[in-house]
A = this chain, B = another copy of it.
């Protein structure tokens, strides 16, 4: 896929995403919630309907493209070959249910395993972040600058306090400027992408939680790896960090000190 084709496809996808503005308010008005793996793992009709609508869009306009998404079975998807879309129809479902804000739609397009287009749509604030391979990253069509490299002591870190052990939490707190948590992997990552946070860590990410972040990281010079500093497989995901290049090593060192970061609490999100 060449640059002209990517720019053409981007226009179509943005149009599709903006079309959600007309249907999400009614979906939220009729919202009903179910639990999945446990009481903290939620899904709503909003998640399901957005994903169904995108699946229909692909079937109509790009019938050969595959969809790899949170609210479906992906066993038959070959994520690394052909045209593949990865979607989290609602990232931060707990925030949607409890707060009616701080959730987003994550969508990305891979051709033969290579990220071409990425979107994080902050629907409650109507801000669309996108990245196009070889073109750059944008906030509502305004180019985003590359982030300034900074030491961990000047940076805010973001992570789930439920899944790190007490020693790691203490060391991260002491090393960083401060701590914040939005509670949506996509939106916490956006803060890193914009240089507002130094790093976001997710110890149990799924492909749809982080699919868009790869291209933003590449276009803006951020670090995005597993928690040993190794490259991530976008089709598998797992423990993940997106980070300002100036604090990546320091954060990973803390996570891997003293026998590792993992706590054995229940995994709340």
A residues near B (Cβ < 8 Å) are 40, 94-95, 98-102, 125, 155-156, 161-162, 166, 169-170, 173-174, 177-183, 191, 196-197, 265, 268-269
Cα–Cα, bound, A174→B40 (Å)? 12
Partner of A181, one of B94, B181, B265: B181
How far apart are A125's CB and chain B's nearest CB, in angstroms? 7
Cα–Cα, bound, A50→B177 (Å)? 26
The reply to whether B99 and A268 form a contact with Cβ atoms under 8 Å apart is no
Cα–Cα, bound, A197→B101 (Å)? 11
The reply to whether B125 and A156 form a contact with Cβ atoms under 8 Å apart is no
How far apart are A120's CB and chain B's nearest CB, in angstroms? 16
The reply to whether A183 and B178 form a contact with Cβ atoms under 8 Å apart is yes
Chain B residues with CB under 8 A of A174: 265
The reply to whether A269 and B181 form a contact with Cβ atoms under 8 Å apart is no
Chain B residues with CB under 8 A of A196: 98-101
Chain B residues with CB under 8 A of A191: 99
The reply to whether A180 and B177 form a contact with Cβ atoms under 8 Å apart is no
Chain B residues with CB under 8 A of A98: 155-156, 177-178, 196
The reply to whether B265 and A178 form a contact with Cβ atoms under 8 Å apart is no
- Residue in chain B with minimal CB distance to A124: B125
- Residue in chain B with minimal CB distance to A191: B99
Cα–Cα, bound, A265→B173 (Å)? 10
The reply to whether B166 and A94 form a contact with Cβ atoms under 8 Å apart is no
Chain B residues with CB under 8 A of A101: 196
Chain B residues with CB under 8 A of A182: 180
26 example contacts (A-B, Cβ-Cβ < 8 A) are as follows A40-B177, A40-B178, A94-B177, A98-B155, A98-B156, A98-B178, A98-B196, A99-B156, A100-B196, A125-B125, A156-B183, A161-B161, A161-B173, A162-B173, A162-B179, A166-B166, A166-B170, A173-B265, A178-B183, A178-B268, A178-B269, A179-B268, A180-B181, A180-B182, A180-B183, A181-B181
Chain B residues with CB under 8 A of A95: 180
How far apart are A84's CB and chain B's nearest CB, in angstroms? 32
Chain B residues with CB under 8 A of A166: 166, 170
Cα–Cα, bound, A100→B191 (Å)? 11
Cα–Cα, bound, A174→B265 (Å)? 9
How far apart are A85's CB and chain B's nearest CB, in angstroms? 29
